[in-house]
Structure 1
Amino acid sequence: MLKKQSIADDPIKMEEETIIIAALSTLSSSKLSDLTHSILSLTNSHLRRLSAVLSSPSLFFLTLHHLHSLSLPDKILLISRHLLSSLHQFTSHFEPTPPPPPPPPSYFVRHSDIDAVLLLLLLCEVHQLNPEALQGISSGKWRAVLSQLYTDTMLTLTGGGGGGYSTVNVLMQYIEMVIRCRRFVGVMARENGGKEWMEVAASPAAVVALPSVEVIRGGGGVECVICKEEMREGRDVCELPCEHSFHWICILPWFRKRNTCPCCRFRLPTDDVFGEIQRLWELLVKASSSGGLDGE
C-alpha cells in the first residue's frame, strides 16, 4: 500500500484548506447550494459503494486483490483520476463563461476502480490514525477494523446518528478528501522520480472549441506574439478565453506542446490527468485570491 503520509494540521494543509474555503466564499447563494447538493449526492454514492465493499466478504477480497495487483504508479494514477473527477465537479461552479468543453471519458473512474480507490483511501486513513490497527492480524480480519472506522465516519456525517447528513460535516469531509488526494499524488509522484506537474499539451477538444474571430478595422497593427507579424484586418485569428488573439497557424503548433496562453499563462483544459489537476487547482487559487471569476 501507500507509504504513511501524515496530513495532520500543518501550515501547508491549512493553506490548502484556506484556499478552498476562500474560493467557496466567492460563490453566490444559488451556486453554493448547487455545489453542496452535488457534493452531498457524490458523498452519498461513495458511502454506499464503500458500505457494499465492507459488508460483502467476496467484494471486499476482490477489491483488496485488485489493489494488491496494482503497482505504486498505478495507485498514484488511480488516486489522481479520483481527485480529478472530484475537482471537475467542484470547480465547474468557478469556471469562467463560457465554460470549457467537458472532460474526456478517460478522466472518469470505473465502478471497480471507485471501489478500489475508496478502500485504498480508507486503508491510508486507518494507517494514519492508528498505524498498528491492521498489523499482526490476517487480511480476513481487516474488514472488521475498517467497518468500525466506516461506522464512526457515518456517525460524524449524520451528526451523531440523526436524521440526515450534516451539510457542514459532509462539505469538510469532501475538502479533506480533496486535500488528502492532492498531497498523496504530489508526494508519491516526487518520491518516484517524477515531477508533480509538468508542461502538457492542450486538449484537442478545447482547441477546436476556440472561436475564430475576424480582425476588424482598428484592430490591425496588433502583432501575433508568436511570429511577431501583424494580424491584418479581415484575417481570421484564434481568440482565447483570456481575450488574447493569435494566428491560427501559429497557435496550433504551440498548443500541441503546452496548454498555456503565450501572453498571460491562462490554461486551457488538457487531456493529461496531472496537468488538468494543476489547471483546476490554479482555478481555485485564482478564485480565492480575486474574489471570484465570474463577477458574482
Structure 2
Amino acid sequence: MEYQTPLPPAEAEAAAKNDFPGEGNETRMIMAALSTLPPHNLAALTSSILSLADARRRRLSALLTSPAAFSLALAHLHSLSLPQKTHLVAKHLLSSLHHLTSHFSPPPPPPPAAFFHHRDADAALLLLLLCDLLHRHPDLLDATPYDHWRLALAAHYRAGSVLSHREIGVFYGGVLTPYVELVSRCWRFVTGDGRGEKKAEAPAAPAAVVALPSVDGGGGGGGGECVVCKEAMEEGRDVCELPCRHLFHWSCILPWLVKRNTCPCCRFQLPTEDVGGEIRRLWGFLVDAAGCGAAV
C-alpha cells in the first residue's frame, strides 16, 4: 500500500503549525512529532498500531463476554490501591511510548520495563475502559448495579470507546488519532496536570551500562579529555563510549551512572529501571522530535 504523505493533508498542515483544534496539548505534540516521520516509517508505525489495537480489542472483548474472566479482572483491579492503579496505567503508557518512538531513526534506547504480566495487562485495559466510560458518562455507573457493570461496559465499548476503534484508513487518522488520544489520556492520568512533578534523576539501568562499549581512549569523539575528572584520555587505554559518542574513563562514568542516567556532557539519557523515569525519557524524545523544546 502506497502512502504519499506522512499524515493526512489537514493534519500535516496542523502539525506544521502546531495547531490541532479540539485536541489537548499532549495530542498536538505527539502528532507534530509523528509528522516528522518519513512516509515508510509512518506506514510501518500505523500497521503495527493496527495490529496492537486489534489484539487489545480481542482481549477486551474476551473479558467483556466472559462473566468469569471479567469478575477476576475486576476483583484484581479493586484489590489495588490508587498508587498501584496509577502504576498500572504508567506501565501501559510506557509500552505505548516505546511503540511510538521505536519507529524514529535512530530510535531511543528501548526501556527495560515496558512489559507486564497478563493479569496486570487485563486490569489496565479494564481500568482504561472504566475511565473512558466515566469521562463520557460520569453518572452511569452510579446508577448501574454492580452486577451489571460488565453489561454496561460492553454496551459502551460497542458504542465506540476510544479503545474500540476499528478504522483502517491512515489518511483519515482512523488508526493514529485514537491511539495518540489514548496515550495522551494515560499521560494526564499518570502526571495529574499533564506536566508531571519534576523528579530526581534515576540511575541508569544495569543492563544498559553493561552494554556500553569500550573503545581506545585515543580516538572517537570524546575531545581527548574526560569531563568528569578533567584528565586526558590515554591512547591504548580502554574508555567507555556512551551512545551520544562522548568518552569517559570507566572509573569515572560508572559511579556517575549509579546515581543518574544522563551523559555529563550533553544530558543524553540512558534507559533506567524506574518506570516514571522511562516515561519522562521517551516523552522528552517526542517533545524534541516535535520541536517543542520543552515538555507541554
Q: TM over 0.5: same fold?
A: yes
1:215 to 209, 214, 217: 217
Residue 241 (structure 1) aligns with: 243
Structure 1 gap segments, 5+ residues each = 1-9, 160-164, 291-296
Matched residue SS, 1:107: coil
1:70 to 67, 71, 80: 80
- Taking only aligned residues, the RMSD between alpha carbons, in angstroms, comes to 2.9
Residues 51-79 of structure 1, C-alpha deviations (whole Å, 9 max, x = no match): 11111111111111111100111101111
Shift in Å, 1:103: 3.8
> Residue type matched to 1:140 in 2?
D
Counterparts of 2:111 and 2:90, CA distance in 1: 14
Percent identity reads 56
- 2:156 aligned with 1:149, yes or no? yes
- 2:185 aligned with 1:177, yes or no? no
Matched residue SS, 2:259: coil
> Residue type matched to 2:99 in 1?
Q
1:268 to 255, 270, 290: 270
Structure of higher RCO (CA pairs closer than 8 Å, 6+ residues apart): 1
Residues 228-275 of structure 1, C-alpha deviations (whole Å, 9 max, x = no match): 222223322212122211111100010011000111111011111111
Counterparts of 2:220 and 2:134, CA distance in 1: 64
Change (3 A) 1:217 1:260: closer
Counterparts of 1:221 and 1:111, CA distance in 2: 48
- 2:133 aligned with 1:123, yes or no? no
Q: Contact 2:217–2:224 (CA<8 Å) still a contact in 1? A: no
> Residue type matched to 2:234 in 1?
R
Q: Contact 2:226–2:233 (CA<8 Å) still a contact in 1? A: yes
> Residue type matched to 2:133 in 1?
V
Counterparts of 1:91 and 1:218, CA distance in 2: 27
Matched residue SS, 2:288: helix
Change (3 A) 1:124 1:279: same
Matched residue SS, 2:291: helix
Shift in Å, 1:218: 10
Q: Contact 2:218–2:224 (CA<8 Å) still a contact in 1? A: no
> Residue type matched to 2:208 in 1?
A
Shift in Å, 1:95: 5.3
Question: Across the two proteins, how many residue pairs are aligned to each other?
Answer: 271
Residue 14 (structure 1) aligns with: 24
Matched residue SS, 2:225: coil
**TM alignment of 1:161-176, pairs within 5 A:** 165-167=168-170, 168-176=173-181
1:139 to 141, 146, 168: 146
Shift in Å, 1:189: 11
> Residue type matched to 1:239 in 2?
E
Residue 10 (structure 2) aligns with: none
Counterparts of 1:188 and 1:216, CA distance in 2: 48
> Residue type matched to 1:175 in 2?
V
Change (3 A) 1:239 1:12: farther
1:52 to 45, 62, 67: 62
Q: Contact 1:242–1:266 (CA<8 Å) still a contact in 2? A: yes
Residue 282 (structure 2) aligns with: 280
Q: Contact 2:222–2:245 (CA<8 Å) still a contact in 1? A: no
Counterparts of 2:49 and 2:21, CA distance in 1: 26
Q: Contact 2:188–2:194 (CA<8 Å) still a contact in 1? A: no
Counterparts of 1:206 and 1:53, CA distance in 2: 37
Q: Contact 2:227–2:264 (CA<8 Å) still a contact in 1? A: yes
Counterparts of 1:182 and 1:69, CA distance in 2: 23
Counterparts of 2:210 and 2:22, CA distance in 1: 38
Counterparts of 2:24 and 2:73, CA distance in 1: 33
Residue 166 (structure 2) aligns with: 158
Counterparts of 1:196 and 1:45, CA distance in 2: 34
Residue 204 (structure 1) aligns with: 206
TM-score (ref. length: structure 1): 0.83
